[in-house]
Chains A and B, each alone.
Chain A
Amino acid sequence: MNPLEQHLTDLRAGGRKLLVPYITGGYPENWTELVGGLAEAGADAIEIGIPFSDPVMDGPTIQESSSKALDAGVTPQEVLAALSQLDVDVPLIAMTYYNICFQMGHENFAKELAKAGVTGTILPDLSLEESHEWTKQANARDIDSILLAAPTSSDERLKQIVQASQGFVYSVGLVGTTGERSELAQSAMDIARRVKSSTDKPVLVGVGISSPEQAQEVCEVADGVIVGSAVIRRILDTGSIDGAIEFVADIRKALD
């Protein structure tokens, strides 16, 4: 078992519900402070988005933060270099689209991630069938390759996905792109149940989780939640990272 999955499994064994906030690398300017702030607020791992020009899995909020970072000239190398300077005691997970990994080359990307202290990857457009080569290179550096399970996946596919996914299983809470929703989708509970019943690996639900109440509700079944757009929107609205940190602390309270 790689370090990320070990860490999350240990926390779960202690009765803790897992909280993984997402932030966009390079946005806002003081985003590295946000990493430390979120760790203090009770994040169990932090998902760092490496901005990509064509994020098809993302809704308007994360599209906006990504394009702001890209407009400011942020590159994957800069994001990773900044991470390598950080001293945080929660695992870091890189979230980006496959072309960023492909351009750097699998081996090199794994090496750079390891240097930056990243222990897991989420590449939403790298489907199960296309993921094997990357997973091999990631594993050579003790990095977990996290795969997505979706409400549209058949039971047969879910079985293959949970077997191949490492670190945790990213269970997509609804049929749609990332973004806030006023109510928790029924599909979030359904996918949590389906995935939980097919694996012992940690099961985290992401996409559409927008409030402490929704996080709490879905964690009645799931092992944890990933919260992205609701965090980013607070930064976009205020230009400050404080509201985002408070929000994550509120979710932590709701889950404990």
Chain B
Amino acid sequence: MTSSGNLSNPVDGRFGEFGGRFVPETLVPACMELEDAFNEAWADPSFRSEFEALLSNYGGRPSEITECYSLSEELGLRLLLKREDLNHTGSHKINNVLGQTLLAKRMGKKRIVAETGAGQHGVATATAAAYFGLECVVYMGEVDIERQALNVFRMELLGAEVRPAVSGSKTLKDAVNEAMRDWVGSVETTYYCLGSCMGPHPYPHMVREFHSVIGNEASAQCKQLLGGDPDYVVACVGGGSNAIGIFSGFVGTDAQLVGVEPEGGAAIGSGEPGVVHGSKSFLMQDAAGQVLEAHSVSAGLDYPGVGPEHAYLAESGQAKYESVNDTEVLAAFERLAQTEGIIPALEPAHGLAWIIRQAEELKGQTVLLNLSGRGDKDVAQVQAIKAGDPQALATMRK
């Protein structure tokens, strides 16, 4: 099977030394079944055309590229945004979810479980479940339920049940634990719709393929607009699904790929190789191998691990990974709103924060930022932070 973008397919479920299938035996047969089902579907033109039709007439693709005239002038570079925020449900997450729910339906599954951090993947999953008439349970950390109340209500409106993850840091990592435990107990009837390019094989590969539409579109759009590739392609990285999607269109070109992690959740920047949630990758952990809690103002990036293919791209030097702090992120969030009239999600504001910090180095260059989601969900939190609300301030990195 050929890859849909420029990235190579995993070999035996691995990207270099990263990836694999580190799950209890109860789940191994389900992962194998999923791998076969995905490979078969992805090679089937009728599945592909159904997926593409959904992306376009339901998801709202293709997403536009917006030229940022004012901010470009201020920064002395040419800034382009890939507008994933304009997709249905407000982020790139819908690409993967439509692919996976279509696959779940093809596999005859009636129930979907998912984890969510910021709530974007949960909302996207609840949306697709409503569309396809599937039962949907979304696990979400108790802390995230508080800071993303709007998305919780959205999921409930869409008919999903939101279950709080109350263990550990009560954020995305713990929501993944709960979703995996649910799946361990329900694997015969339930499809686990993982929200990022992480987890046991085939998830990292499959999620990348469903998001490769971002990179493929962006590559073609840049060729039309610029007559070639941009100098830089920048995306935020938590688990790394939006980044792997856009990178898949530019790996192997002259474009420098930059993944931007939150300082308090920089698995590549400050982690070591480790194994959690089904795959080997970089991981924030203590000397004994206990997974550490991430701290980021953005719930969607509040994750101590990273997808295994990013670990591979980092190790092989095909992409570089940088980190920014919460203060820089909030400044970037406001700056895009004020210069371009676009309120970004806090997640892609990380990418912009890096661009702003590096403006001197990037002078005269063309920079494509994957604007992975819109900021509506973050407005109340930012308002509270600006007002000095102690609870909201506590969401920022200590």
Partner-B contacts on A (CB < 8 A): 52-59, 63, 67, 70, 75-77, 98-100, 102-104, 124-130, 147-154, 157, 161, 172, 175-177
Of B42-50, B98-106, B282-290, B390-398, the one touching chain A: B282-290
CB within 8 A of B184: which of A57, A100, A128, A149? A57
With a cutoff of 8 Å between Cβ atoms, the chain A residues found around residue B273 in the complex are: 102
A to B CB contacts below 8 Å, 17 in the list: A52-B289, A53-B291, A54-B168, A56-B184, A70-B290, A75-B288, A77-B288, A99-B285, A102-B273, A102-B280, A103-B288, A126-B22, A152-B28, A157-B25, A157-B29, A176-B184, A176-B185
Are A150's CB and B21's CB within 8 A? Answer: no
In whole angstroms, how far apart are the Cα atoms of A177 and B23 in the complex? 12
Hey, what's the 0/1 contact readout for B230-266 against A, CB within 8 Å counting as 1? Answer: 0000000000000000000000000000000000000
Beyond A54-B291, A125-B23, A150-B26, whether A103 also contacts B185 by CB under 8 A is no
Are B291's CB and A125's CB within 8 A? Answer: no
With a cutoff of 8 Å between Cβ atoms, the chain A residues found around residue B23 in the complex are: 56, 125, 127
In whole angstroms, how far apart are the Cα atoms of A153 and B185 in the complex? 14
With a cutoff of 8 Å between Cβ atoms, the chain B residues found around residue A57 in the complex are: 24, 184
Are B22's CB and A152's CB within 8 A? Answer: no
Q: Does B180 contact A (CB under 8 A)?
A: yes
Closest CB-CB distance, B57 to chain A, in whole Å?
37
CB within 8 A of B24: which of A148, A154, A161? A148
Are B184's CB and A127's CB within 8 A? Answer: no
Are A130's CB and B22's CB within 8 A? Answer: yes
Are A150's CB and B167's CB within 8 A? Answer: no
With a cutoff of 8 Å between Cβ atoms, the chain A residues found around residue B160 in the complex are: none
- Other than the known A54-B177, A125-B24, A127-B21, what 17 A-B pairs have Cβ atoms closer than 8 Å? A53-B290, A56-B177, A57-B24, A67-B168, A99-B276, A124-B24, A127-B22, A150-B25, A150-B26, A152-B29, A152-B188, A157-B25, A172-B26, A175-B184, A175-B187, A175-B188, A177-B181
Q: Does B30 contact A (CB under 8 A)?
A: yes
Beyond A102-B289, A175-B187, whether A157 also contacts B28 by CB under 8 A is yes
In whole angstroms, how far apart are the Cα atoms of A153 and B32 in the complex? 11
In whole angstroms, how far apart are the Cα atoms of A121 and B281 in the complex? 23
In whole angstroms, how far apart are the Cα atoms of A148 and B276 in the complex? 18
In whole angstroms, how far apart are the Cα atoms of A153 and B28 in the complex? 8
Q: Which residues between 169 and 189 of chain B lie within 8 Å of chain A, taking CB atoms?
A: 173, 177, 180-181, 184-188
CB within 8 A of A152: which of B30, B274, B289? B30
Are B184's CB and A99's CB within 8 A? Answer: no
In whole angstroms, how far apart are the Cα atoms of A75 and B24 in the complex? 23
Closest to A126 in B: B22
Are A172's CB and B22's CB within 8 A? Answer: no
With a cutoff of 8 Å between Cβ atoms, the chain B residues found around residue A128 in the complex are: 25, 28
Are B168's CB and A127's CB within 8 A? Answer: no
In whole angstroms, how far apart are the Cα atoms of A102 and B21 in the complex? 14
In whole angstroms, how far apart are the Cα atoms of A125 and B287 in the complex? 20
In whole angstroms, how far apart are the Cα atoms of A76 and B181 in the complex? 24
CB within 8 A of B25: which of A59, A77, A127? A127
Partner-A contacts on B (CB < 8 A): 20-30, 167-168, 173, 177, 180-181, 184-188, 272-278, 280, 283, 285, 287-291
In whole angstroms, how far apart are the Cα atoms of A96 and B272 in the complex? 19
Most B CB within 10 A of own CB, among A55, A63, A99, A104: A99
Are A67's CB and B167's CB within 8 A? Answer: yes
With a cutoff of 8 Å between Cβ atoms, the chain A residues found around residue B291 in the complex are: 53-54, 99
With a cutoff of 8 Å between Cβ atoms, the chain A residues found around residue B185 in the complex are: 175-177
With a cutoff of 8 Å between Cβ atoms, the chain B residues found around residue A53 in the complex are: 168, 290-291
In whole angstroms, how far apart are the Cα atoms of A102 and B282 in the complex? 13
Are B187's CB and A56's CB within 8 A? Answer: no
Closest to B179 in A: A56
With a cutoff of 8 Å between Cβ atoms, the chain A residues found around residue B290 in the complex are: 52-53, 70
Closest CB-CB distance, A38 to chain B, in whole Å?
25
With a cutoff of 8 Å between Cβ atoms, the chain B residues found around residue A99 in the complex are: 274-276, 283, 285, 289, 291
Are B25's CB and A103's CB within 8 A? Answer: no
Beyond A99-B285, A177-B185, whether A149 also contacts B167 by CB under 8 A is no
Are A150's CB and B24's CB within 8 A? Answer: yes
Closest CB-CB distance, A109 to chain B, in whole Å?
10
Are B26's CB and A54's CB within 8 A? Answer: no
CB within 8 A of B285: which of A103, A150, A157? A103
Closest CB-CB distance, B198 to chain A, in whole Å?
13
CB within 8 A of B22: which of A98, A104, A149, A177? A98
Closest to B185 in A: A176
Closest CB-CB distance, B14 to chain A, in whole Å?
10
Closest to B278 in A: A125
In whole angstroms, how far apart are the Cα atoms of A129 and B29 in the complex? 12
CB within 8 A of B276: which of A54, A175, A177? A54
Beyond A150-B26, A172-B26, whether A56 also contacts B180 by CB under 8 A is yes
Closest to A103 in B: B289
Are A59's CB and B181's CB within 8 A? Answer: yes
